Amino acid sequence: MSTKQLVDRILSQIPDASFRVVFWDGESRRYGRGAEEFVLRLDDEAVCRGLLGNLSVRFGDAYVAGAVRVEGSLDRFLRLMFLCRPETFRLTLGEKARLAALRWRRVDALEQARRNVAVHYDLGNDFFKLWLDKEMMYSCAYFRTPDEDIDTAQERKLRHLAEKLRLREGVRLLDIGCGWGGFLLHAATRYGVHGLGITLSAEQEAEARARIGAHGLGDRVAVARRDYRELGETAGFDAVVSVGMFEHVGRSNYREYFRSTARLLREGGIGVLHTIGRQTPGPPNAWITKHIFPGAYFPSLAETVGPLTASGLEVTDVEVWRLHYAWTLDRWLEAYEANIDRVRAMYGEPFTRLWRLYLAGCAASFRYGDYCVWQIQFTKGATDAIPPTREYLYPSEP
C-alpha cells in the first residue's frame, strides 16, 4: 500500500468537511460534499509519511517548512484537527501497523524547519505592535458582540478586571506578569491606584517604564523585573491581578504560586486570576509547547481552584470565556496578515508561516477544542467590598 493510498483511506473517512487535496504527483482529489472550504497541497511524499506517524507534532513543522500548504480557510482546515478522531477510523490491521511503524521515522525536512524557527524567542516589541491592540494587551479581550473591534473589547476587559478587583483611589495593586503595562496604566489613570507590576522580560519592563513615564505616573506606578517568589517582603496589597501569566507557572508550582498570592494580599483583599485553561485536564498541544510556549500548561478548573482554596483563598466568582479568545485571535491574525510583508522582511518566510499557524491554531483550539479562559475572582478571608450580585460588572452601556 502506497503512502498516497493510506492518506486517501484516512481523508475519505473524515466526516462533515469539504475540501480538495493536490498530491505530490499533481493528482487532485475531492473529499466531502458542498462548497469547497480549502485546498490542501501535499508537495512532499516523505513529509507526508512523517505526518501519518505523528500528526500533532509534525504537522506544524511541515506547515512552517511549506511542505504542507493550505489555500482558502486555514481555520476550516484546523477544525479537522480538533473534530477528527482517528481512533474511530475503520482501518485494517495492516494499515494500523503501517501507521505505528511511521511513528518512529525521522523526517529530515522537518528537522530543518525546527532550526528555522528558533528565531522567535528574540522577538521585540516592534513585532507585537504590528498586530496587537493599541494598549498592547497580549491576552483575551472581552467582546459584547462578536463583531466588535479589538480596541473596544480590550478596553472592556481592562474595566471588567478593575471592577472585579474593586479598584478605588489609593488602592495598592500588584500585577503579576504585567506585560507592557496596559492594565497598570488603566488602573492608575482611571482609578487612581498605586501599582506595582512585575515581569521577567527586559523588553516588556523597558516599554512599560517608558509608557508610565510618558503618562507622568512615575510617582505611583512602578515596574520591576522580578519573579513572584521574590516579593517576600512586599506584602499587604489590596488587590492582586494576574492576566495570561499562570499558563507559564507550571502545574507543580501551583501550590507555591497561590501561597505567594495569599501572602502578598492583605486580609480582606481581592484577587483575579485570568488564565487560559481547558475543560478537562490534559497535556497541551506538543507543537505549541515546543515552538511557542515551552513549559506551558493550560489547567482545568479543578486543577486551579484546588490549590487556590488550599492556600486559604476563597473563590467568589468564576467567569468562563471560550469564543472571546477565538475572536481576539481572529483580530490579531487579521492585523498580522495586513502586515505580513513587514513580518516576512523582518524574520523570513518560515517564521511568517509559524506565527500564522500559531494564531490560527489557537483560534481553532477555542472554537473547536475544549480550550477556554478561566477568570477567577477570589478573596483572602471575608470582605464586604464585593456586592451581592454581579450586576456591578454590567453597567448599562450605550
Which positions touch a copy of itself (CB under 8 A)?
Answer: 142-146, 279-280, 300-303, 305-306, 309-310, 314-320, 322-324, 370, 372, 382, 388-391, 393-394, 396
Phi, psi of 276 (to 5 degrees): -65, 140
Could you count the other beta carbons within 10 Å of the beta carbon of residue 96? 11
Task: Choose between 230 and 317: whose C-beta lies nearer to a copy of itself.
Answer: 317
For residue 126 the three cell numbers come to 516592534
Nearest to 360 by CA among 99, 115, 76, 155: 76
26 vs 379: CA distance, rounded Å: 62
Q: Sort residue 179 into left (φ over 0), alpha (ψ -120 to 50) or beta.
A: left
Residue tagged active-site, from 84, 140, 178, 362? 362
Please say whether the beta carbons of 40 and 21 come within 8 A.
yes
Please say whether the beta carbons of 157 and 244 come within 8 A.
no
Nearest to 132 by CA among 181, 165, 177: 181
Task: Choose between 199 and 304: whose C-beta lies nearer to a copy of itself.
Answer: 304
Please say whether the beta carbons of 309 and 315 come within 8 A.
yes
Nearest to 139 by CA among 176, 167, 170, 179: 179
Task: Choose between 314 and 349: whose C-beta lies nearer to a copy of itself.
Answer: 314
Could you count the other beta carbons within 10 Å of the beta carbon of residue 49? 17
Task: Choose between 256 and 370: whose C-beta lies nearer to a copy of itself.
Answer: 370
**Does the annotation count 48 as an active-site position?**
no
For 46, 174, 347, the CA distances from 353, given in Å and listed in that order, are 20, 37, 10
Task: Choose between 75 and 207: whose C-beta lies nearer to a copy of itself.
Answer: 75
Give the three-state DSSP class for 376.
strand
Task: Choose between 13 and 300: whose C-beta lies nearer to a copy of itself.
Answer: 300
> In angstroms, what is the minimal distance from the CB of 30 to a copy of itself?
28
Amino acid making up residue 395:
P
> In angstroms, what is the minimal distance from the CB of 112 to a copy of itself?
38
CB-based contacts of 64, cutoff 8 Å, min separation 6: 113, 116, 117, 350, 353, 354, 357
Give the three-state DSSP class for 45.
helix
Please say whether the beta carbons of 15 and 33 come within 8 A.
no
Task: Choose between 85 and 106: whose C-beta lies nearer to a copy of itself.
Answer: 85
Catalytic residues: 362
